[in-house]
Amino acid sequence: MSDAERRYETLFPGDPAPWFRAACIGQAGSYSFDTAAGRFVVLCFYGDAADPLARRALTAARAQGALFARLGVNLFGVSVSAADAADAALAPTLGQRHFHDVDGAISRAYGVAPQDGALDLAVLHRSWLVLDPRLRVVARFALGEAGDAATLALVRSLPSLSAHGAEAQVPVLTVPGVFEPEFCARLIDYHQATGGSDSSILTEGATVSDHGFKSRRDRQITDKTLLAQTQTRIVRRVTPEIRHAFQFNATRMERLIVAAYDAADGGRFGPHRDNTVAAAAHRRFAVSINLNDDFEGGGIVFPEYSQRAFRPSLGGALIFSCALMHAVMPMTRGRRYACLPFVYDDAAAALRRGG
């Protein structure tokens, strides 16, 4: 079969890059590629690290490691060679990983390997892809002396992360006055009565604790009167705004908690999405309602779009899709209290039940 007869996917500049989960060489478990969002990404589809073309490309990339780190660029190599699994030079380093794509799923999704047939180097369209922080294709270059140089030249021309997206429109909604100051104070008192408990990280099939990634203390609202009053305010003041702005009819609510991010404990929550594990796939919109304003730090950022930090006013809400990557920046002074429910609809409720 000639190269012209083989079918390859085609990605053009501006197209979203396919997300995937795959094993990394020299690392246990798997890596979810969507978590690379928020930084520029360079993908190197070299096929087999022992091949001369691949060696030249990887050598060129490693020589620019300091540049990649300074600009906030992640480098991911993609190998289809079984032998590469034992190559210590492909073990993860800061900002660099290599995916072990022995079944060719990643290479096929990116148009490097044909949709059918073997993964011989002769049929691979080995190439570099540069992606923006939203994981959209910026450019593609063929592996080789000219393509290697063009890729590195493009990397050198990329804006800093602080400059990228400075004028971007972040798709979030702010709603002031969801809770009255007096009601905010009641919820803070409710949390302070027990101090809350350590908030874990929800992963597939388990919850884990990592205070370097997430440091927060939560108290579930179980008092029936306080719970009803909280729900009523959200139903009357938040769900109409979601219908108006997003044409989404939120009919269900979950996880009514009061949370505290404390500067003394390194309060923060690293970049994440709220709907990527099966137990959370039904979540549609997150609602973050600030209960106080006497703190510093703790702003909410959406690194796929910009480095701008959002901080709702006292009693105000920030509403956003659970699919958006977001992070709570480290606290620098005081303690931030917030009410953090999720809302969804009847169709998502059926998904949650497994129906």
What is the model's pLDDT at position 8? Answer: 93
Residue 323 in this model has a pLDDT that exceeds 70: yes
Is residue 8 within 8 A of residue 127, CB to CB? The reply is no
pLDDT tens, residue by residue, 35-46: 999 999 999 999
Query: How far apart are the C-alpha atoms of 104 and 313, rounded to whole Å?
Result: 49
Determine which of 2-11, 166-175, 244-253, 262-271 has the lowest per-residue pLDDT on average.
2-11
Domain identity same for 182 and 100: no
* Domains: count for the chain: 2
Residue 198 in this model has a pLDDT that exceeds 70: yes
Average pLDDT over residues 123-127: 96
Domain identity same for 18 and 66: yes
Query: How far apart are the C-alpha atoms of 90 and 273, rounded to whole Å?
Result: 28
Query: How far apart are the C-alpha atoms of 330 and 321, rounded to whole Å?
Result: 22
Structural domain ending residue among the three candidates 95, 125, 157: 157
Domain identity same for 206 and 332: yes
Residue 355 in this model has a pLDDT that exceeds 60: no
Domain identity same for 265 and 121: no
Please list the alpha-helical segments (H only) found in the chain.
52-63, 65-71, 105-109, 145-157, 181-192, 224-237, 239-246, 346-353
Domain identity same for 126 and 179: no
What is the model's pLDDT at position 29? Answer: 85
Is residue 274 within 8 A of residue 280, CB to CB? The reply is yes
What is the model's pLDDT at position 1? Answer: 60
Is residue 37 within 8 A of residue 306, CB to CB? The reply is no
Query: How far apart are the C-alpha atoms of 196 and 216, rounded to whole Å?
Result: 9
Structural domain ending residue among the three candidates 125, 157, 189: 157
Domain identity same for 122 and 189: no
Domain assignment of residue 162, yes or no: no
Is residue 293 within 8 A of residue 261, CB to CB? The reply is no
Which residue, 12, 41, 38, is CA-closest to 99? Answer: 41
pLDDT tens, residue by residue, 226-260: 999 999 999 999 999 999 999 999 999 999 999 99
What is the model's pLDDT at position 3? Answer: 63
Query: How far apart are the C-alpha atoms of 68 and 158, rounded to whole Å?
Result: 10
Q: Which residues span the domain enclosing 146?
A: 3-157
Query: How far apart are the C-alpha atoms of 189 and 183, rounded to whole Å?
Result: 10
Task: Return the number of other C-beta atoms located less than 10 Å from residue 355's C-beta.
Answer: 7
Which pair of tokens denotes residue 92? 């993860």
Domain identity same for 220 and 291: yes
Domain identity same for 79 and 137: yes
Domain assignment of residue 9, yes or no: yes
Domain identity same for 112 and 225: no
Residue 155 in this model has a pLDDT that exceeds 70: yes
Query: How far apart are the C-alpha atoms of 235 and 313, rounded to whole Å?
Result: 19
Task: Return the number of other C-beta atoms located less than 10 Å from residue 82's C-beta.
Answer: 10
What is the model's pLDDT at position 118? Answer: 82
Domain identity same for 121 and 212: no
What is the model's pLDDT at position 153? Answer: 95
Which pair of tokens denotes residue 93? 């380093």
Is residue 289 within 8 A of residue 255, CB to CB? The reply is no
Which residue, 233, 223, 227, is CA-closest to 193? Answer: 223
Strand partners, 125: none
What is the model's pLDDT at position 4? Answer: 61
Give the torsion sign (CA, 170, 171, 172, 175). Answer: positive
Domain assignment of residue 166, yes or no: no
CATH number at residue 338: 2.60.120.620
Is residue 68 within 8 A of residue 44, CB to CB? The reply is no
Domain identity same for 223 and 343: yes
What is the model's pLDDT at position 67? Answer: 87
Residue 99 in this model has a pLDDT that exceeds 80: yes
What is the model's pLDDT at position 126? Answer: 97
Domain assignment of residue 146, yes or no: yes
Structural domain ending residue among the three candidates 157, 186, 209: 157
What is the model's pLDDT at position 43? Answer: 98
Average pLDDT score, the chain: 94
Is residue 287 within 8 A of residue 343, CB to CB? The reply is yes
Determine which of 65-69, 271-275, 283-287 has the lowest per-residue pLDDT on average.
65-69
Beta strands at 96-100 and 73-79: parallel, antiparallel or unpaired:
parallel
